[in-house]
Amino acid sequence: MGITRDTFADGARSYYGRDIGSTAIPDLSNQTAVMEAAAHVPMALPSAAEVAALRTQFLTLFNQRDQALVKTDREREELMALYTEAQILAVDICDTVEFFFRKDTNDGSRRTKCERWGVVYHFEPGEQPPTPPVPPTPPAPNP
């Protein structure tokens, strides 16, 4: 890890009896393997100061995360308090738009006009929305 963090040069592995090109961690699965790995001079990694600096950085970020979480929760509660009122207003607007276009007897045409004002229609699975009428072709210009 010290080599990965550039604390030691790649060639330092040979000083500790390790293959220079190896990136594998020594086998520590049993007591014999641990004794063999410990037979070499240990690398002092990381220093207490480095650990303390990283701990301080972690605690700072952790506290910032907690503050952001509290702020997000508070804002979500404020939003939910307004949601019911906004939902009622949105339904009222959609009802007003649909009422305005109520005299259009073609469902597809009426829905197209209402969609221009933000009304959204959800259809059941398998239900096909009605197709709006095709506008008439404009007459050809006179020469």
Q: Please report whether residue 106 resides in a domain.
A: no
Can you read off the two tokens belonging to residue 44?
């002092």
9-63: pLDDT as tens digits: 766 666 666 666 767 777 778 877 777 766 665 556 677 888 899 899 999 999 9
DSSP state of 90: H
Q: Please report whether residue 84 resides in a domain.
A: no
Phi/psi for 105 (5° steps) reads: -75, -20
Q: Are 115 and 121 in contact (CB under 8 A)?
A: yes
- What mean pLDDT is predicted for residues 95-110? 89
Q: Please report whether residue 80 resides in a domain.
A: no
Rg (CA), the chain: 35
Q: Please report whether residue 16 resides in a domain.
A: yes
Query: Cα(119)–Cα(113) distance, rounded to whole angstroms?
Result: 9
Task: Give the residue numbers spanning the domain of 23.
Answer: 1-45
Q: Please report whether residue 113 resides in a domain.
A: no
Query: Cα(88)–Cα(44) distance, rounded to whole angstroms?
Result: 66
Q: How far is CA 119 from CA 101, 110, 114, in A?
A: 12, 11, 5
- What mean pLDDT is predicted for residues 55-72? 95
Q: Please report whether residue 26 resides in a domain.
A: yes
Q: Please report whether residue 2 resides in a domain.
A: yes
Q: Please report whether residue 124 resides in a domain.
A: no
Q: Are 9 and 15 in contact (CB under 8 A)?
A: no
